[in-house]
Structure 1
Amino acid sequence: MTSASTAAVLASATATSPAPLPAPLVRGWEVVIGFETHAQLSTHSKIFSGASTEFGAEPNTQACAVDLALPGTLPVINRGAVERAIRFGLAVDATIAPMSIFARKNYFYPDLPKGYQISQYEIPVVQGGGVEFYVDGVKHRINLTRAHLEEDAGKSLHEDFHGMSGIDLNRAGTPLLEIVTEPELRSSKQAVEYARALHTLVVWLGICDGNMQEGSFRCDANVSVRRPGQPFGTRREIKNLNSFRFLQQAIDYEVNWQIEQIEDGLAIQQATVLFDPDTGETRMMRTKEDAHDYRYFPDPDLPPLVIAPGWVAEVRAAMPELPGALAARFQAEHGLPAYDATMMTASRATAAYFQAATGACGQPKLVANWVMGEISKRLNAEGGDIASAPVSPPTLAALIGRIQDGTISNNAARQVFDALWSGAGTDVDAVIEAKGLKQMNDSGALEAILDEVLAANAKSVEEFRAGKEKAFNALVGQAMKASKGKANPAQVNELLKKKLGAG
């Protein structure tokens, strides 16, 4: 399950810029954060070749002649990658460029066979747009600068090579959508919630599997600090953050490091840094290049990318309902609070689970409570996915039904849920029977128990009649104990009040 603050992601319908995000100060300094996220697109082949993008293959077994930049090879754009970029642009209410240009970004790395990366610079395919997210229940919006298509580089391997490095070119040419924000984030918490929101969106759209451990969703944070009202400070870019926890730790460390440097009279040098999760520190990898250092120029091997209005309309027609719109519908149709509706759209699987269980029992609020409570707790502990939860939507609906008709108490329901989650099957009634959890609803039997409780607790009776409400709760507790927890609490309360003359 994802965080409640990030589950609702939607494109803003307004064309005006929102007010700046709140800027909590750190030791009197304002934090400024911009984001660049590389989302690996979910195509089966690479962006300019037919080589596979499957993860985990033996090194250099998925790099074809185009990926290796062998003489005479020419790149051909993958239509599926462009379609996914359009889908993203529509979701964030961006402008889809009718014509965009691929450029060569020139730099030398051993894992970049061509000596340049094919990317987009002056005219990206997706321009503008915005993403909404929640921080502590408050909705925020960050503006996007652009999202452009590019190819990934290979990977340098430095372990188990007896002091040498190895090169794996399987990733070379893998399609990426680089999503760039304006520098509008003002805290590490905002940054994390934006990243979660963006992650939810690209997975929801089906354009990226979101697997951070495999590098499918990588975050780079540009961090600087300034005194309030002053010009932007010099930024340092934290590269390749592959978990939300590390993202927050890295930004917090970097912010404090920059403040200490400046307060000690030292200047911040623009640089690319890496985060070491073992030490919790960032360290400089290299001084940061500017755009002119890459000598961008249009790639002569690729014609302009033309996206006709008909293609955009075709993609729009196939778009899924976005999580923000679905959350609004859950509020309107089921009366869910905004928080609950947000949680129920944490993923498409969560929304499907909620809808199936609600359809079976007609109790949307109770379904949401169980999903946010017991189910979420177990999935977070086990690292599982709600789509494969041991308790299916029909089983949860049956359990809720037994609470509603008074067959079991809420406490007993949790015991039944534990058994079902642990593999006791899907028959709720069978588990209730096997564990002897059926509530006692026979008024005659309950009255007999209450008579015994009242006779044995004369002091509590006297205190209640003297105006001490706590004495009533003590009597209820004794009655539940005498019934071994099987008495219907509501019925116990009602009968007890009558016997005490308080009904």
Structure 2
Amino acid sequence: MEFETVIGLEIHAQMKTRSKIFCGCSTEFGAPPNTHTCPVCLGMPGSLPVLNRKVVESAIKLGLATEATLNRENRFARKNYFYPDLPKGYQISQFDLPICEHGRIDIEVDGQRKTIGITRIHMEEDAGKLVHDEREPVSYVDLNRTGTPLLEIVSEPDLRSPGEAVAYLKKLHGIVRYLDICDGNMQEGSFRCDANISLRPVGQREFGIRTELKNMNSFRNVQQALEYEVRRQRDLLLEGEQVVQQTLLWNPDTGHTEPMRGKEEAHDYRYFPDPDLIAVVLDEIWIARIREQLPELPDKRRLRFVRDFELSDYDADLLTASRELADYFEETYRLYGNVKKAANFIGTEVLRDYGPERIDQCPVRPRQLAALLGLIEDGKISGKIAKTVFAEMLISGADPERIVEDKGLVQMSDEGELVALVREIIAAHPQQVQQFREGKAKVLGFFVGQLMKKTKGQANPQMVNDLFQQELNG
């Protein structure tokens, strides 16, 4: 029997705000436990929540970016459940009237484009965090994260493979970072997802029994956890057994899912409107102003790079992997002028040490990189020397002109000096000369390599190649 996989993702993105969603406590990551708390986020009697306006703006931005419907009036609800790290005994979220509904994201997997529906985007507060002691059977409660603003993005069950799920997750990850509403740090939990997955016989309309996967803090973990769960559920169904509806934890050490608890349904949470918060009403002027401030999003920027810069799809995908990298490339190109050479050097040298999400940490800024590429363009240094200079720039942060001057790396371009060296090398290798004249053109590379070695890579490679051609054919 053949089965079809059905996957839906629930993604939680922490908003980049200085304070929490309903109080003034800091959202800074890594503070000592329980130092960023107050009576409001601890749910003390008599305390009242006050909504953070920036969280609403962030939700509007994401709704516009995903072509969702913005509900001009939306409301908060209480989601009731007990966890040790949920001090109020309920979570302020949204239920029947979320801020955004019916959005979409386009993905591409194996050359096939597909639209994935977004059921809803809603605002809510994060819970705290349990810290488990590895030496004793004890868990400690850190409530610093309690009240951190979240946007939960719930997809339609449109995903049909782990690959599609990861492509969707990466696309949304890029969008929230381009919008600058979430830092996207999966290791710190500021961008995380739960996955609902089920299998059904091919051709069946009804969904199968689903499980929910949690504890996936990287794209790789999501891929591996979903692949494992597909295999596990298929084996159960082929053996005539039933899949149990439950919440599972992914254990990356064992490569297995582990039961956590029974899967809750909406009625288990006993939602009701939060009596302490009035409805959120979106003003049309406010929405229009936010729309005007939206940045160029990844898909449009990638298409522009292909259309205007004539970059390959691969290079355009690479250079738009983050907003910071795309800005870095465009500024380098603006100062330097050769789009292909700028793209190639960034793709090979810069990204070797600084990935798309760490490009802001690169000590070589676009002005300096443009100056380095200009030295190659002017024939003052070779491409090989440029790599040496760039490595030094990463360490010292110095400008390329200074490094070239201090280390004596100026390219040899004096024709008379190079001709003398070319003739010297030809005279020293009569056997290779004979091979070249017998038609073995590849021997030319041997001669060029000998001269570059002799000049420690400082000779102008194009001049060297031309001079050898002239002398050997002369």
User: Any conservation in 2 of the 1:449–1:483 contact (CA below 8 Å)?
Assistant: no
1:60-119 Cα deviation digits (max 9, x unpaired): 333333333333333332222111100110111111111123222222223333332222
Whole-angstrom CA distance in 2 between matches of 1:158 and 1:445:
71
Whole-angstrom CA distance in 2 between matches of 1:450 and 1:214:
58
Aligned CA distance change for structure 1 residues 305 and 161 (closer, same or farther; 3 Å): farther
Q: Secondary structure at the match of 2:60?
A: helix
1:129-176 Cα deviation digits (max 9, x unpaired): 222345467655422111111122223343279544433333222221
2:437 equivalent to 1:462: no
2:237 equivalent to 1:262: yes
Which residue of 199, 220, 225 corresponds with 1:245? 220
Which residue of 66, 78, 89 corresponds with 1:92? 66
Aligned CA distance change for structure 1 residues 414 and 289 (closer, same or farther; 3 Å): same
Aligned to 1:409: 382
Whole-angstrom CA distance in 2 between matches of 1:351 and 1:192:
22
1:329 Cα deviation after fit: 3.3
Whole-angstrom CA distance in 2 between matches of 1:75 and 1:445:
79
Which residue of 45, 49, 55 corresponds with 2:19? 45
Which residue of 199, 222, 235 corresponds with 2:196? 222
Aligned to 2:290: 315
User: Any conservation in 2 of the 1:51–1:64 contact (CA below 8 Å)?
Assistant: yes
1:376 Cα deviation after fit: 0.9
User: Any conservation in 2 of the 1:137–1:339 contact (CA below 8 Å)?
Assistant: no
Whole-angstrom CA distance in 2 between matches of 1:347 and 1:165:
37
1:350 Cα deviation after fit: 1.4
Aligned CA distance change for structure 1 residues 464 and 136 (closer, same or farther; 3 Å): farther
Whole-angstrom CA distance in 2 between matches of 1:219 and 1:243:
9
Aligned to 1:24: none
Aligned to 1:441: 413
2:54 equivalent to 1:55: no
Which residue of 250, 253, 258 corresponds with 1:278? 253
Range with bigger deviation, 93-102 or 482-491: 482-491
Whole-angstrom CA distance in 2 between matches of 1:438 and 1:169:
59
Aligned CA distance change for structure 1 residues 285 and 260 (closer, same or farther; 3 Å): same
Which residue of 37, 56, 63 corresponds with 1:82? 56
Aligned to 1:325: 300
Matches within 5 A, 1:104-123: 104-123=78-97
TM-score by length of 1: 0.86
Aligned to 2:265: 290
1:264 Cα deviation after fit: 2.9
1:247 Cα deviation after fit: 1.9
Counterpart amino acid of 2:377?
Q
1:125 Cα deviation after fit: 0.7
1:216 Cα deviation after fit: 1.3
Matches within 5 A, 1:119-138: 119-135=93-109
Aligned to 2:322: 347
Q: Secondary structure at the match of 1:56?
A: coil
Q: Secondary structure at the match of 1:30?
A: strand
User: Any conservation in 2 of the 1:117–1:153 contact (CA below 8 Å)?
Assistant: yes
Structure 2 unpaired stretches of 5+: none
Aligned CA distance change for structure 1 residues 104 and 474 (closer, same or farther; 3 Å): same
Aligned CA distance change for structure 1 residues 134 and 406 (closer, same or farther; 3 Å): farther
Aligned CA distance change for structure 1 residues 454 and 161 (closer, same or farther; 3 Å): closer
Whole-angstrom CA distance in 1 between matches of 2:5 and 2:188:
30
1:195 Cα deviation after fit: 1.8
Range with bigger deviation, 492-501 or 367-376: 492-501
Counterpart amino acid of 1:223?
I
1:28 Cα deviation after fit: 5.3
Counterpart amino acid of 1:297?
F
Aligned to 1:390: 363
Aligned CA distance change for structure 1 residues 478 and 136 (closer, same or farther; 3 Å): farther
1:302-327 Cα deviation digits (max 9, x unpaired): 33222121221121122223233333
1:211-264 Cα deviation digits (max 9, x unpaired): 223221111111223343334322211113222222222222222222222233
Q: Secondary structure at the match of 1:390?
A: coil
Whole-angstrom CA distance in 2 between matches of 1:487 and 1:226:
66
Aligned CA distance change for structure 1 residues 166 and 494 (closer, same or farther; 3 Å): closer
Counterpart amino acid of 2:250?
F
RMSD of Structure 2 on Structure 1 (CA):
2.6
1:327-378 Cα deviation digits (max 9, x unpaired): 3333444333333233222223212221222122112222221221111111
Aligned CA distance change for structure 1 residues 256 and 160 (closer, same or farther; 3 Å): closer
1:184 Cα deviation after fit: 2.2
2:344 equivalent to 1:369: yes
1:183 Cα deviation after fit: 1.9
Whole-angstrom CA distance in 2 between matches of 1:245 and 1:420:
33
Aligned CA distance change for structure 1 residues 384 and 133 (closer, same or farther; 3 Å): closer
Identity %: 51
Which residue of 146, 160, 178 corresponds with 1:204? 178
1:39 Cα deviation after fit: 0.8
1:443 Cα deviation after fit: 1.8
User: Any conservation in 1 of the 2:41–2:146 contact (CA below 8 Å)?
Assistant: yes
User: Any conservation in 1 of the 2:116–2:159 contact (CA below 8 Å)?
Assistant: yes
User: Any conservation in 2 of the 1:47–1:173 contact (CA below 8 Å)?
Assistant: yes
Whole-angstrom CA distance in 2 between matches of 1:118 and 1:418:
51
